[in-house]
Amino acid sequence: MNADLRLYLTAARDVAREAADLVRRHRAEGVSVRVKGGEVRELVTTADEAADELIRARLLALFPDHAVMSEETAHAGATLDPETPTWIVDPLDGTSNFAHGLPVFSVSLGLWWQGRPLVAAVCEVMRDWLFWAASGQGAWLNGQPLRVSRETEALHAVLASDWTHSPERRRLATHLFARFVLRGHAARSLGSAALGLCYVAAGWLDGYVNLGLDPWDAAAGVLLVQEAGGLATDARGQPWTPAQEILVATNGPLHATVLSWLEEVWEEEG
């Protein structure tokens, strides 16, 4: 691994862990929850904001010439400058779970440059599981290499999706989810897109689809999926980029099937 990549990876892992510690402390001490931006289902807590502040401060101190796009301080509609290395950060992914006491949420950091992810770290906060990947260096969980599943049959597949904030996309997602339930082995909804992607990388899920992502939800997870041997694309099968709202991530053999189900849903319900 070249020296720069090693430096970025070390920073991503250290900062993700430090932010996860902070989120755990906030959970223990109590947080205040409020609705964000007028959308009744979109919540933000004091832990999201504190983690955002900490991560930004750490990354900009380490890399003053990099940019940071972090959910709680990003401008609406902010776009990436591909020539500036940019940390795309979700300081707390799974805020609905967090606010309801459900212990499934993560801190997610991905560094992108020239249209590609370079390093990624996702910390599953309550288990202290650190998922990470670096371009060309594989995907890892707490020092163990990760590999996507080998499943080829949709009927045996465990597939996951989550619920977006847009009511229209939610409706479409229910139709896709129904296909996962009726045509696959089982369907899951974890409430953290970043963790859904890490679980695909680990081979615990065979696929994960989200129909309404923001860049920070998947900027780290897609590198984990790719480095573990899977595919992460938009609805047409093109490599996912942070500008895409739709993400289809699978182990590879199941990709065409899942894309075809999405197309069916779009034609019938869209």
Q: Which residues bind ligand IPD (CB under 6 A)?
A: 90, 93-96, 162-164, 191-193, 210, 212, 217
Q: Within its chain, how far is the Cα of 184 from the centroid? A: 23
- The distance in angstroms from the start CA to the end CA of the chain is 45
| Contact of residue 110 among ligand IPD, Ca ion, none (CB under 5-8 Å per partner type) | none
Q: Is 112 exposed, middle or buried (0-12, 13-18, 19+ CB in 10 A)?
A: buried
DSSP string, 136-150: TS-EEETTEE-----
Contact indicator for 106, 124 with CB cutoff of 8 Å: yes
Query: CB of 169: closest distance to ligand IPD in angstroms?
Result: 9
Decide: is 206 part of the binding site for Ca ion (CB under 5 A): no
**154 touches which of ligand IPD, Ca ion, none (CB within 5 to 8 A by kind)?**
none
Burial class (CB in 10 A: 0-12, 13-18, 19+), 47: buried
Copy the structure tokens of residue 205.
């899920």
Q: Select 222 or 253, whichever has its Cβ closest to ligand IPD.
A: 222
What's the min distance (Å) between Cβ of 164 and ligand IPD?
5
Binder of Ca ion out of 71, 151, 162, 206 (CB under 5 A)? 71
CA–CA separation, 112 vs 118, rounded Å?
6
When the beta carbons of 52 and 206 are compared against ligand IPD, the nearer one is 52
Q: Is 93 in the site for Ca ion (CB under 5 A)?
A: yes
User: What is the C-alpha to C-alpha distance for residues 262 and 146, in angstroms, rounded to an integer?
Assistant: 27
Please, are residues 145 and 139 in contact by the beta-carbon 8 Å criterion? yes
Q: Does 52 bind Ca ion (CB under 5 A)?
A: no
What is the smallest separation between the CB atom of 107 and ligand IPD, expressed in angstroms? 10
Q: Are 23 and 92 in contact (CB under 8 A)?
A: yes
**Candidate segments 86-94, 111-119, 148-156, 249-257, binder of Ca ion by CB under 5 A:** 86-94
Binding to Ca ion (CB under 5 A) within 164-193 occurs at: none
Q: Work out how close the CB of 192 gets to Ca ion at its nearest, in angstroms, rounded to a whole number.
A: 7
Nearer CB in complex with ligand IPD: 147/170: 170
Distance (Å, whole) CA 122 – CA 105: 10
Name the 3-class secondary structure at 243.
coil
The reply on whether position 90 binds Ca ion by CB under 5 A is yes
> What does 212 bind: ligand IPD, Ca ion, none (CB cut-off 5 to 8 Å by kind)?
ligand IPD
What is the contact surface with Ca ion in residues (CB under 5 A)?
71, 90, 92-93, 217
